Amino acid sequence: MQATMVKKKRTGEGLLRSPSVTVARLTLASYLRSGWIWGEFVLVLVFFAMLYFPLLESTASFNGTSTFALGAIAILGPAIMVRQATSARTYLLLARLTSRSAYSRGLMLATATLRFPLYLLFLTFVLLFHRLTDPTVGGIFWGAVGIIPNTVLIAVLTVSLCSPIATRFKRICFLAWLALMLFSFRPILSIPTWLETVLSLSQIPLWPAAECYTLSTTGNPGVLSLLGLVLIACYCIVIALVAGYWLEKRELLLY
What does the pLDDT profile of the chain (255 residues) look like in tens digits?
A: 444 444 445 554 556 778 888 888 888 988 888 888 899 999 999 999 999 887 889 999 999 999 999 999 999 999 999 988 876 566 556 656 667 788 889 999 999 999 999 999 999 999 999 999 999 999 999 999 999 999 999 999 999 999 888 989 999 999 999 988 888 877 777 778 877 888 888 889 999 999 999 999 998 998 999 999 999 999 999 999 999 999 888 765 545
Cα–Cα distances (Å) from 15 to 10, 64, 93, 180, in that order, read 9, 35, 19, 41
pLDDT at 93: 61
Q: Which residues are bridge partners to 132 per DSSP? A: 57
What pLDDT is recorded for position 2?
A: 47
What's the pLDDT score for residue 148? 96
Burial class, 3, CB count within 10 angstroms (exposed 0-12 / middle 13-18 / buried 19+): exposed
For 57, the 3-state DSSP assignment is strand
Rounded CA separation 216/66 (Å) = 10
Q: Tell me what pLDDT residue 137 has.
A: 92
Residue 147: name the closest of 79, 98, 215 by CA.
215
Q: How many structural domains is the chain composed of?
A: 1
In 3-state terms, what secondary structure has residue 36? Answer: helix
Contact assessment for residue 151 and residue 119, using Cβ atoms and an 8 Å cutoff: yes
Residues in the chain: 255
115: left (phi over 0), alpha (psi -120 to 50) or beta: alpha
What is the distance between the alpha carbons of residues 82 and 94, in angstroms, rounded to a whole number? 14
Phi, psi of 251 (to 5 degrees): -85, 100
Give me the pLDDT at residue 4, please.
47
Can you tell me the distance from the alpha carbon of 128 to that of 131, in angstroms, rounded to the nearest whole number? 8
8 Å CB contact between 185 and 203: yes
Instruction: State the CB neighbour count (10 A cutoff) for residue 148.
Output: 22
Q: Give the CA dihedral 209, 21, 18, 93, nearest 10 degrees.
A: 110
Range of the domain at 98: 2-254
Q: Contact 225/214 with Cβ under 8 angstroms?
A: yes
